[in-house]
Amino acid sequence: MEIKTFGVIGAGQMGNGIAQVAAASGLQVVMSDIKEEFTAKGLANIARNLARSVEKGKLDDAGRDAIMARIRTTTDLQDMQTVDYVVEAAVEREDLKFKIFRDLDAICPAHVILGSNTSSIPIGRIAAQTRRPEKVIGMHFMNPVPVMKLVEVIRGLATSQETFDVTWELSLKFGKTPAEANDYPGFIANRILMPMINEAVFCLYQGVGRAEDIDTVMRLGMNHPLGPLALADLIGLDTCLAIMETLYDGFKDSKYRPCPLLRKYVEAGWMGRKTGKGFYSY
């Protein structure tokens, strides 16, 4: 099937990044969120990203304008009836994602593939909310989307080969490198990454080292471009906690138990960069 129009649910840091790469690939994009202020903020972030690309000589003014012109925003989910493929990039809450997929299933024509950018929730559970489980798939982008090359492609138990192939080719069209992951909580990326971040939080919690020293060890000793605590702040501590809870609930293994300090920060509203306070102040 040919994809001409691409829908994105959520205009936050992941959603607007996905919208940007889709528009840059030549697709018409419909980016949706629940409030106009959210879609406006997402569109402004795309404009800033493209302006930086122009400044660096990676894109000319005409190219920037063409990408922006291919993106339209909406607060009406009914507008998704015009798209050929849609990716949900809402916050990592199972109840919210389930509702979105039920709504999309009712709104979108039968041929439309419903993708999820979920970081950890099994695709089979999301697909079960719809009457088209064969057309539901995980399309998990990394943050920041315009920069990071990886897309995890996760098929649920019922996902068809056609849905998988279309998603794989779409990832390549976006200039990404797809990798296939089986449908287990956390998939590959967060099954490995989040326990590492959680262990770094335990090191801080238990006084093994200061945040700066923990990150320095991982950057300079393990050659990570960003320390785990700084990375957690970038991802969002609420998202990190949600993923750890999904892993813990899914495997019932104590090694996935979220660190109490991580939960304490989230309960205090310290979510990382997006709130100005996390393991570091911004």
β-bridge partners, 114: 86, 136
Answer yes or no: is 53 a known binding residue: no
Answer yes or no: is 189 a known binding residue: no
Answer yes or no: is 10 a known binding residue: yes
Catalytic site residue from 117, 190, 198, 245: 190
Answer yes or no: is 274 a known binding residue: yes
Output Rg (C-alpha) for the chain, integer angstroms: 19
Answer yes or no: is 119 a known binding residue: yes
- Identify whether 119 is a catalytic site residue: yes
CA pair distance 205, 23, nearest whole angstrom: 43
DSSP assignment letter at 256: G
CA pair distance 232, 234, nearest whole angstrom: 5
Catalytic site residue from 88, 140, 171, 245: 140
Residue 147 burial (C-beta neighbours within 10 Å; 0-12, 13-18, 19+): exposed
Answer yes or no: is 277 a known binding residue: no
CA pair distance 173, 170, nearest whole angstrom: 5
Answer yes or no: is 200 a known binding residue: no
Q: How many CB atoms lie within 10 A of CB 78?
A: 12
Residue 152: phi, psi to the nearest 5? Answer: -80, 130
Residue 21 burial (C-beta neighbours within 10 Å; 0-12, 13-18, 19+): buried
Catalytic site residue from 117, 119, 120, 171: 119
Answer yes or no: is 12 a known binding residue: yes
The amino acid occupying position 173 is: K
Answer yes or no: is 15 a known binding residue: yes
Residues 6+ apart with CB under 8 A from 102: 129, 130
Catalytic site residue from 16, 45, 88, 152: 152
The sheet carrying 177-181 orders its strands as 71-74, 28-32, 5-9, 85-88, 113-116, 136-141, 150-155, 177-181
Which uninterrupted H or E stretch holds 71? strand 71-74
Answer yes or no: is 97 a known binding residue: yes
Answer yes or no: is 221 a known binding residue: no
Answer yes or no: is 186 a known binding residue: no
Annotated binding site for NAD(+): 10-15, 33, 92, 97, 119, 143, 274
Binding-site annotation: residue ranges: 10-15, 33, 92, 97, 119, 143, 274
Active site residues: 119, 140, 152, 190
